Structure 1
Amino acid sequence: MAKRSNGEGTICKRSDGRWMLSIMLGRDHKTGKVIRKYYYGKTKSEVLQKKEALLEQRKGPVYIDADRITVGQWMEKWLTIYAKASVRENTYAGYRSVVETHILPLVGDIKLQKLRGIDIQHMVNQIKDNGGSPRLAELTFAVLRIALNKAFHEEILHRLPFKTVSLPKKRRKEFIPLTQLEWVNLFAAAEQDEEMYTALSLEWATGISRSELLGLKWIDFNFSTDTASIRRAASITDNGTKLDDTKTDARQRVLPLPEVTMQQIRLHQERQKLFIRANKKTWENNDLVFPDLNGKLQDPRRWSKQFQKIAQQANLTITFHKLRHDHASRLSENGVSIKDAQYRLGHSTTQMLLNVYTHRISGGQEKIALWLNSSFPAAPTDHETPLQ
C-alpha cells in the first residue's frame, strides 16, 4: 500500500455526525514525529474547503503553523519580515525594544494559537504592577496588537485574542505654560551658550520638535521671506543618529519667523562661519544649523542633556519637549485658530492638538460665560409679577 504524501489527508465522518479532516504536514526535523493538523466541519465539503485553503497557504513564501510557533517566534518574524520594511528606523528600534523588554518575558513562550485575552491582560497588569506607566502598558499592548493583526490578515491566526483586554486609565497631567518671567530666566541662563540661545529663540517662535530642530540645514532658511522650511528630522536608530524625512507629510511645513528670531539666526550663521574657518581640518560640512563641534549630526539625547543644564540654572523642571507644549498653549491664548495652530505644529489632525498640547482653549469658557450673561432672556422690569 502506497504511503500518503504530505498534504493528502484523511477524511471521515465521526460518531457525533461531524466530518473530520486529518492532514499530514510533514515531520518534526528534531524528533522525527509526524506533524498533523485536524479540522472539523458539519459537512464533507466544509472540511475539504479547509484542506484546500491550508494547502494554498502552504504554497506561500512565509508559511507559519500557529499551533507550533510561539508568540516570541512570531514577534521576531513580524519584526524582521513586516515591521522593518514598513516603518522608520527609530520606530523599528522602539518596536524591538518593547518586544524584547516586555512582550517576550511575559507572553513570549505561549503558543501563538493558544494565546488568550487573559494572557494579554496579565501582561498589561504585570507592566503596571512592576512600576510601568499606563502609557508603557498601552504602548506594549499596541505593538502586540499590530503583530497579531498581521498574523490574522495573513490567515496564520483565525481569531484576535486582544479584543477583551482592558487598558489602565491614563491620567493626563495638565501642562501649565511658562510665564513671561520664566522665559526671561531661561534665555538669561542660555546667554553663555550662544547656540542654545539661538535654538531657544527658534523654539519659542515655532514649537518644532527636538528632532526637527537638529535636522535643520541652512538651505531651509529663506532670509528674503524670513521663513524656515521643516523638511527632515534627526532619528535615533540602532545604527546611530541619522537624518530622515519628517514623520508625516503634515510635518513638512514652511513657518514664517519673527524678526527677533531671524536676527539670532543670522548672528548664529556668522559665528558658525568663523568657527569653521578656525577648524577647517576637523570640520565635516553637512550644512547643519545645529551640528556638533565637528559639523556632524548631533545625538538628540545629548542635546536634551545640554538643555537640562540650562533649565536647571533657570530653576525650571521642564524637558525640551515641554517647550513645544508651551508654544501650542501660547497660540491658543492669543486667539490663533485651531487649523493655523495645527499647521504650525505639524499635526495631521486637530484632534491630537486638542488632546495633547493645549491645556485648555484659554479664555474661551470665560467668553462663553460673558456672552450668556449678556444674553439672558429676562423679562422687562415693568412686566414683573409683584412679590406677594
Structure 2
Amino acid sequence: MAKRANGEGTICKRSDGLWTAAITIGRDEKTGKLIRKYVYGKTKAEVQEKKAALLETNKGLSYIDADKITVAQWLEKWLHVYARTRVRQNTLEGYQFIVTNHVVPAVGTTKLSKLQATQIQAMINNILDNGGSPRLAEFSFAVLRAAIRQALKEELIYRDPTLAVSLPKKKKKEVVPLTDEQWTALLETASKPTYIFWYTALLLEWGTGIRRGELVGLRWSDIDFKRQTIFICRAAITTKDGPKISEPKSQKSRRTIPIPTTVVTELKKHKARQAAMRLKAKTWEDNDLVFPTRFGTLQDPCVVTRRFSRLVKAAGIPHISFHDLRHDHASRLFAQGEHPRDVQDRLGHSSITLTMDTYTHAMPGRQENIAGRLEENLPSCLAPATPTTRKFKIKKISLHQLTTTTGNSK
C-alpha cells in the first residue's frame, strides 16, 4: 500500500465514490473523546483543498458546541479571533462597545443555536424605542450579523436568523455645499492668531476633500512640492489608548492627489511657520507631521472635531461637521462636470457605487442635459424649419413606420 503524502492526512474514497477527509479539532471536555470534522468531494484533489482550508479555519481554535455556547460567548470569540485581524483598532473598539452595550444585553444569554429572528428584531426595536438612531440600530445589527455569518462558515449553526429581520429606514442626509460667503467667513476666522493652525488645514481640505484622519496623519514626506501632489498612505485614529497612526480606511484610500497651486504656496508658508515654532518650543517631538500639536505630537481626531466646531461658531455660520467639508469638495467637483470615476479616485472611495449613491443629487442639470441632447438629435421629419429651409407640413407616421424608415436609411 502506497504511503500517503506528507500532510495529506486521513483521506480516503468511500464505497459510493465520494472522497472524504477528517481533521481533529479538539476533545470533548466531559468524555475526553476526540472531536473530528469531515469534508467531502468528488475528487481527491478537491477534498485535499477543502481539508487544508478547514485546518486553516480551525487553527488556534478550541472546539465549540453551538448547543452549549451562548451568543455572548461566541461574540467574544468572534471579536478576538476574527474581527481583530480584519479591522483597525478604533473600529474593533467600536464593535466591542456595540456588543457590550446593545447586543449582549438583548440576546447575550441565548444559546447560539437557538437564536431567533424575533429576538434580533426586538433588539433593534428596543434601540429605537429608547431614543437610539436608525444608524445605531443598523450598526448593532451589522455587528451581530457578521458574527452569526462566521458561525455559519464554521458550521456551528445551519440557518441565518438575521435574514428575516427588518431594518429601520434611514433618512439620508442632504449634502449641501458651502456658499462662497461661508468659505470666506471660515478662512478669515481661521487666519486669526487663535486659529492659525486651521487656515492651512482648511485650505488643504478645500482643495482635496481628504478625511479628517488622513489630514491629521499627513506628514511632510507625503507632500511633493515639485509635482504639487500629496500621497495619502496613513490616517490618525482615536483609540482608548490615545491617538495612533493606522493604515488607510481601505486599499482605495491609498492614493496620490494633485493639489491647486494656491494650496501648495500656503503649505510652504505653513512649513516655515512650523519651523520657527519648533525653534521656540521648549519641548518638541519631531514626527514630521504637517498638523501636529504645539509639542509636535499626533493630534487626536476627536479633539480636532471639537476645535472645528468652535471655529465654525466663531465664524458665525450654521453648524457643519468637519466631514461636511469633504462632501463640499465632492459636490463642487460634480458641479464643475468632473467624471464620477475621477471623483471616486480623489475621495478614495472603495467603489464607484458609494460615490454615486452619496453624490448623485450633486450632479446638476443631468436630466435637462439629456433632454437638450435629444432635442439636438431629432429625426429629420421632426426637425423644426429654419429661415433657410422650405416650410413643410409634418406628416404623422406610426412608430412602426418610423422604425422601418430609420432602418432603411442605414
- TM-score band (shorter)? 0.7 to 0.9
Amino acid aligned to 1:382: F
SS at match of 1:194: helix
SS in 1 for 2:221: helix
Q: CA deviation at 1:357?
A: 3.8
Q: TM-score, normalised by structure 2?
A: 0.78
Aligned to 2:374: 372
Q: CA deviation at 1:328?
A: 0.5
Query: C-alpha offsets along residues 289-322 of structure 1, whole Å, 9 cap, x if unaligned?
Result: 0001111100001101111111112222100000
Match of 1:48 in 2: none
Question: Aligned pair in 2 of structure 1 residues 58, 347: CA closer, same or farther (>3 Å)?
Answer: closer
Give the match's secondary structure for 1:321: helix
* 1:355 to partner: Cα distance: 1.2
Q: What is the correspondence of 1:272-291 to structure 2 with a 5 Å cutoff?
A: 272-279=274-281, 281-291=282-292
Greater shift, 84-93 or 213-222, is seen at 84-93
Provide the secondary structure at the position in 2 that maps to 1:234: strand
| CA displacement at 1:177 relative to structure 2 | 0.8
**Structure 1 residue 209 displacement after superposition:** 0.3
Deviation of 1:60 (Å) = 7.7
Determine if contact 1:333/1:363 at 8 Å carries over to the other structure. no
* Cα distance in 2, alignment partners of residues 108 and 277 from structure 1: 56
Runs of 4+ in 1 over 6 A off after TM superposition: 56-60
Q: Residue 269 of structure 1 aligns with which residue?
A: 271
Preserved contact between residue 329 and residue 358 of structure 1 (Cα < 8 Å): no
In structure 1, the residue matched to 2:113 is 113
Show structure 2 runs of 5+ residues with no match: 1-26, 32-54, 385-390, 397-410
Report the equivalent of 1:299: 300
Compared CA separation, residues 81 and 336, structure 1 to 2 (3 A): same
Q: Which amino acid aligns with 1:218?
A: W
Question: Aligned AA for 1:154?
Answer: E
Q: Which amino acid aligns with 2:154?
A: E
| Structure 1 residue identity aligned to 2:206 | W
Q: For structure 1, which runs of at least 5 residues remain unmatched after alignment?
A: 1-23, 29-55
Distance 1:59 1:135, change over 3 A: closer
How big is each residue's C-alpha offset from its partner over 1:167-190, in whole Å with a ceiling of 9 and x where there is no partner? 111121221111111111111121
Q: Distance in 2 between matches of 1:25 and 1:278?
A: 67
**Residue 113 of structure 1: CA displacement?**
1.1
* Cα distance, 1:271–1:358 mapped onto 2, change above 3 Å: farther
| CA distance in 1: counterparts of 2:313 and 2:274, whole angstroms | 26
Q: Which range moved further: 184-193 or 291-300?
A: 184-193
TM-score (norm. length: structure 1): 0.82
Q: Tell me the alpha carbon deviations over residues 77-128 of structure 1, each in whole angstroms, 9 at most, x when there is no partner.
A: 1111221122211111111011111101111111111101111111111111
Query: Structure 1 residue 96 and structure 2 residue 106: aligned?
Result: no
Counterpart of 1:122, as a letter, is A
* Amino-acid identity (%): 46
Q: Over residues 316-375 of structure 1, what are the superposed CA-to-partner deviations in whole Å (9 max), with x where a residue is unaligned?
A: 210000000010100000011111111110112111011124533122222123223444
Does structure 1 residue 332 correspond to structure 2 residue 334? yes
Matched residue count? 339
Distance in structure 1 (CA, Å) of the matches to 2:134 and 2:337: 33
Distance in 1 separating the partners of 2:85 and 2:350 = 23
Secondary structure, in 3 states, of the residue corresponding to 2:361? coil
CA–CA separation in structure 2 for the residues paired with 1:239 and 1:385: 79
| Alpha-carbon distance between aligned partners in 1 of 2:361 and 2:277, rounded to the nearest angstrom | 41
- Report the equivalent of 1:313: 314
Matches of 2:188 and 2:211 in 1, distance apart? Answer: 22
Letter in 1 for 2:332: R
Tell me, what secondary structure is at the counterpart of 2:147? helix
CA offset digits 1:7-45 (Å, max 9, x no partner): xxxxxxxxxxxxxxxxx95549xxxxxxxxxxxxxxxxx
* Distance (Å, rounded) in 1 between the aligned partners of 2:349 and 2:294: 32
Name 2:174's counterpart in structure 1.
Answer: 174
